[in-house]
Amino acid sequence: MPQVYFDHASTTPISSVALESFIEQSKLVGNPSSLHSNGRLARKKVEESRETLANLIGCHSSEIIFTASGTEANNLAIKGIFWHRLKEDPKRKLILISSFEHHAVLDPALWLGESGQAEILMINVNKDGYIDLEQMESVIKERHEEIALISVMHSNNEVGTIQPIKEIAKLAEAYKIPLHSDAVQSLGKVKLSFKDLGLFAMTVSAHKVGGPVGVAALILKKGVDITPLLHGGGQERDIRSGTINAAGIASFVSATASAMRDMEGNYQKVFALRSKLISTIQGQVSDVRLNSPLEGEILPGIANIEFPSTESDSMLLLFDAEGIACSTGSACSAGVQEASHVLLAMGRSQAQARSSLRFSLGISNSESEIEYLEACIKRVIDRARAAYRG
C-alpha cells in the first residue's frame, strides 16, 4: 500500500541538505559558548547560519534569537513583550490577537488573560479566513493607550490564508504599538521579509520548512528589550538561555535557504497539485465545501475541506487505513478531536468544523498520489457517512 503524506503543515519531511548539514555539524564537538577552539568553531557555524538566515528573511543577524520551538518563540514574544510593556506603562494591559491564531499564540495570550494580568481582545476573521482590518483599526484608534501588543499570524495553519500584516503594521506603527507575527507556515513558501512587513517580532520554525524539529527563532527588532522567559546562561542576547543548538541551527538555515532559492517554482508546483487535489475531491464527492479560498492570498499547499455528514476522526482513521495521512489541523485534548477554533472563528458551525479535514501538500507530493486518493476517497467518505452520529 502506498504511503501518501498530505500533512506538511503539521511537519515537513527533512530535506536532504538539512539532513546533511545536521549530520555534518553533529559530528563536531564544541559548545558554541565555549572559548576554546572547538567552541569557536561551533560558534562560527552558528553565526554564519544566523547571517544567512538574516539575509534570507530581511532582518539583521543580531535580531535573531534562536529557540527550541515555534511555541517557545511565540511564548517569548507574547509574554516577554507584554511584561516589558506593562512594566514601562501599567496602563498597557490589552493584547490584540486574531481569533484564529495557532494555540502557540492563543494559549499564552489566554493564560495572561485568565491569570488576571492582561485583557485579551480577539479581532474577528471573515468567512474566507482574513482578519477584519476595520475592526482592528477602530480598536487601535479607540484603545491605543492601553494596547501592550498585537499578534496576528502571517498565514493560517489550517486554511492557508495570508494575512495583511503590512496594513496592520501601519496601523500599529502610528501609535508605536509592537506587532508580532507567527510566520511559521509562511517561511520558505511565500515572500517573507521582516523589514518590509514592518514587524516588531516574528516567529519562524525549522520543521515546517524541511528542517529538523527542535529549532526555531524569534526575530526581534533591534534595540528592543523584552522580559526573558528562560533564565540561565543568557546565550541568545541575554534574552534566551540554553545551550545553542549548533547542528539544529545549521540544518534549519540550510533548509530555509534551499526552500527560498526554489520558492517560486515550488509554489507553482505545489499550488498546481493543490488545485488538482481540490478538483479531484470535488469530482468524487459532490457536496464538499471548501473552507480555504480557491486562490488569492493563500499558501500554495493547504486545502481545508468540509465533507458534510461525516466526523473528521472517522475520516482520519479510514484515510490512514488507506495509507493517506491528513489532519484536522486542530488541537487535541487527550487525543480527543475538538471542533477547530479556526473554522468556528470563520463562522462555521460545530458540525461543519467537525466534518472538515486539512490536506497540506508539499514539494515531495506528486500527481500520482492524488490519483491514488481519487481511487479511495469515495470508499472512505461512504464509510465515514455510514458511521456519522449526527
Partner 1 sequence: MKLIAAMSGGVDSAVAAARAKEAGHEVIGVHLALSKNPKKYRSGARGCCTIEDSHDARRAADVIGIPFYIWDMSDEFHENVVENFLAEYAAGNTPNPCLRCNEKIKFAAVLDRARAMGFDGVVTGHYAQTKDIDGQRLLYRAVDSGKDQSYVLAVLNQEQINGAHFPLGDTTKDDVRLEAKSRGLSVALKPDSHDICFVPSGDNAGWLRERLGSQVGDIVDEAGNKLGEHNGAYTFTIGQRRGLALSVPEKTGEPRYVLKVEPVNNRVVVGVKADLAIHEVSGLSPIWCGPKPSGQKSGFIQVRAHGSAHSCKYFLDESGPLPELKAVVDQPIYGLATGQAMVIYDGDRVVGSATITGTK
**DSSP, res 295:** S
Cα distances (angstroms) measured from residue 26 to each of 11, 205, 251, 348? 22, 19, 10, 47
Candidate residues 145, 264, 320, 371; the one interacting with partner 1 per rule CB under 8 A: 320
- Rule CB under 8 A: say whether 321 interacts with partner 1: yes
CB of 322 to partner 1, least distance (A): 11
Interacting stretch for partner 1, rule CB under 8 A, among 160-168, 253-261, 318-326, 360-368? 318-326
- Rule CB under 8 A: say whether 317 interacts with partner 1: yes
Looking at the Cβ atoms of 35 and 334, the one nearer to partner 1 is: 334
CB of 230 to partner 1, least distance (A): 26
Interacting stretch for partner 1, rule CB under 8 A, among 51-59, 77-85, 190-198, 327-335? 327-335
**φ and ψ at residue 4, rounded to 5 degrees:** -110, 125
Strand-pair category, 94-98 with 289-290 = unpaired
Distance CA 179, CA 150 (A): 5
332 is catalytic: yes
Looking at the Cβ atoms of 143 and 383, the one nearer to partner 1 is: 383
Under rule CB under 8 A, how many of the chain's residues touch partner 1?
18
Comparing CA positions, the residue from 122, 118, 73, 114 lying closest to residue 97 is 122
CB atoms within 10 A of CB 76: 26
CB of 321 to partner 1, least distance (A): 7
- Rule CB under 8 A: say whether 383 interacts with partner 1: yes
Candidate residues 318, 324, 361, 370; the one interacting with partner 1 per rule CB under 8 A: 318
Which residues are registered as beta bridge partners of 356? 306
Distance of CA 209 to the CA centre of its chain: 10
- Rule CB under 8 A: say whether 289 interacts with partner 1: no
CA count, 13 A, side-chain hemisphere, 40: 3
Contact residues toward partner 1 (CB under 8 A) are: 313-314, 316-318, 320-321, 333-337, 383-384, 386-389
